[in-house]
């Protein structure tokens, strides 16, 4: 897995990140979603490394990266804090500017990185996500029934008790579909109480503070200034919930938003690596 990549624990100002990086060419930072770790990119990253220097961290709170000491410290789990981690990590590796792609919960950190640090992000790809503020403002009975976990995970303490009683039953996942080494890494993460709490912190911050940061940007008229490409899973529910996904994103971007659906389920890096790699190469190379 990740042949010719380096695996390091890298200290950034606020935490420590587990990171794999490899390849050559323009830097490209890949951010995973929930409940995965950076190993979800194991099919995509080596293919991208033929043209890019690819950097794959475990997000703060996830995998083997550092965890906030207080699971209810929403600022420490906020996308704003994780965006600072991203910038510091890339600086550590020698990159002042970089391409950025984020999936699921990682898409929110990617969006916040591009908003808070516009001089750093040259192009942004969002995978299976809309701004948190948009999701909450458009919330209806259908969203609440399909994405009930957003609100359950944001509660104090009880989600940990429910998940840790049987993490494998809660999260699912299968070695056959995920690949053996990726599955082992994922399985280790979901069995660890501190990691489960860290992942829940991402949802707690979303409900309590992240949407306020989005609102502040909208009220101030701040928008993404870099090119934005949105990719969604055709077999997931983003189109069902929002219809025209690009129309949801367009008010947040100065430039015309591009994008496409991929014929796969939610975990696109594992289910459709060839199609996803093709989309990312086309966008970041264009």
pLDDT tens digit sequence for 3-53: 999 999 999 999 999 999 999 999 999 999 999 999 999 999 999 999 999
Biggest alpha carbon–alpha carbon distance for the chain: 48
CB count in 10 Å sphere of residue 14: 15
Is residue 70 predicted with pLDDT exceeding 90? Answer: no
Q: Which residue has the tokens 């640090």?
A: 117
Catalytic residue, chosen from 72, 92, 208, 266, is 266
Phi–psi pair at 34, nearest 5 degrees: -95, 140
Cα distance between residue 40 and residue 273, in whole Å: 10
pLDDT-derived band at 172 (thresholds 50, 70, 90) equals very high
Is 202 catalytic? The answer is no
Is residue 69 predicted with pLDDT exceeding 90? Answer: no
Catalytic residue, chosen from 58, 85, 104, 128, is 104
Sheet bearing 53-57, strands edge to edge: 6-12, 15-23, 53-57, 27-31, 98-103, 121-127, 228-233, 258-262
The pLDDT value recorded for residue 286 is 86
Element (H, E) at 165: none
Cα distance between residue 203 and residue 72, in whole Å: 11
What's the pTM value of the predicted model, to 2 decimals? 0.98
Average pLDDT over residues 150-179: 96
Report yes or no: 54 and 21 within 8 Å, Cβ to Cβ.
yes
For residue 257, what are the contacts with CB-CB under 8 A and spacing of at least 6? 228, 229, 230, 246, 249, 250
Is residue 177 predicted with pLDDT exceeding 90? Answer: yes
For residue 285, what are the contacts with CB-CB under 8 A and spacing of at least 6? 51
Average pLDDT over residues 108-122: 98
Is 266 catalytic? The answer is yes
Is residue 196 predicted with pLDDT exceeding 90? Answer: yes
Domains of the chain in sequence order: 6-285 (3.40.50.1820)
């Amino acid at each position: 897995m990740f042949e010719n990549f380096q695996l390091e624990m890298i200290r950034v100002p606020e935490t420590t990140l587990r990171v794999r990086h490899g390849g050559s060419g323009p830097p490209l930072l890949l951010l995973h979603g929930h409940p995965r770790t950076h190993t979800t990119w194991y099919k995509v990253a080596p293919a991208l490394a033929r043209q890019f220097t690819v950097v794959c961290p475990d997000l703060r709170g996830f995998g083997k990266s550092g965890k906030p000491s207080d699971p209810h410290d929403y600022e420490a789990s906020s996308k704003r804090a994780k965006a600072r981690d991203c910038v510091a990590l890339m600086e550590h590796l020698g990159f002042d500017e970089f391409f950025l792609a984020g999936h699921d919960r990682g898409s929110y950190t990617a969006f916040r990185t591009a908003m808070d640090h516009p001089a750093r992000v040259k192009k942004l790809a969002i995978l299976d996500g809309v701004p948190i503020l948009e999701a909450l403002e458009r919330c209806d009975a259908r969203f609440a029934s399909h994405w009930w976990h957003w609100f359950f995970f944001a509660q104090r303490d009880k989600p940990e008790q429910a998940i840790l009683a049987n993490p494998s039953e809660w999260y699912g996942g299968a070695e056959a579909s995920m690949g053996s080494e990726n599955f082992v890494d994922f399985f280790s993460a979901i069995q660890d109480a501190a990691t489960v709490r860290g992942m829940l912190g991402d949802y707690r911050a979303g409900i309590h503070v992240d949407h306020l940061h989005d609102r502040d940007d909208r009220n101030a008229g701040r928008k993404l200034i870099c090119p934005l490409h949105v990719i969604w899973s055709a077999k997931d529910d983003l189109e069902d919930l929002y219809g025209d996904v690009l129309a949801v994103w367009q008010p947040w971007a100065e430039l015309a938003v591009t994008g496409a659906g991929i014929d796969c389920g939610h975990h696109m890096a594992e289910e459709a690596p060839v199609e996803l790699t093709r989309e990312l190469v086309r966008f970041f190379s264009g």
